Amino acid sequence: MRPMRVEDLDAVMVVERRAYPWPWSIGIFRDCLFAGYPAWVLLEGGAFIGHGVLSVAADEAHVLNVCVDPARQGRGHGRILLRAMVQAARGRGACRVFLEVRPSNPAAIALYQDEGFNEIGRRPRYYPADNNGREDAIVMAMELLGD
């Protein structure tokens, strides 16, 4: 794993498009990098297999994007990315970390719960869904206690 760079964005987009029916645009990634958001790429044998983007402001962090190539999911790569983001949030003085997840993504929900995140609410109609519909987001948070 290493910090994401602008020159990585074409490869990041390949993974993003494989993983999500409504992927982020390259412009969103570029804006996050230019804004100085911590972002990482996960590599295996030189191949891009995942990425993550975090925002940190004041004492709160927000996991904006965690993505692992579908062909490599279920092998702990998402956990590696998530743990790195939580550690980065802690290192930047955050007291809590938030994220949103689709209710239709039970594997991600299970990972987040296993890593210490708890559901704190819902955002109605947050995500795009099939047939021009919308899907709620489960809002989860983790308190970062001092070590």
| Residues that constitute the known binding site for acetyl-CoA | 105
Which one is catalytic: 100, 115, 119, 135?
Answer: 100
- Of 38, 29, 36, 37, whose CA–CA distance to 7 is shortest? 29
| Nearest-angstrom CA–CA distance, 93 and 70 | 32
Residue 100 bears catalytic tag? yes
| Nearest-angstrom CA–CA distance, 96 and 61 | 6
| Nearest-angstrom CA–CA distance, 60 and 1 | 23
| Nearest-angstrom CA–CA distance, 146 and 32 | 28
Please identify every residue annotated as catalytic.
100, 112
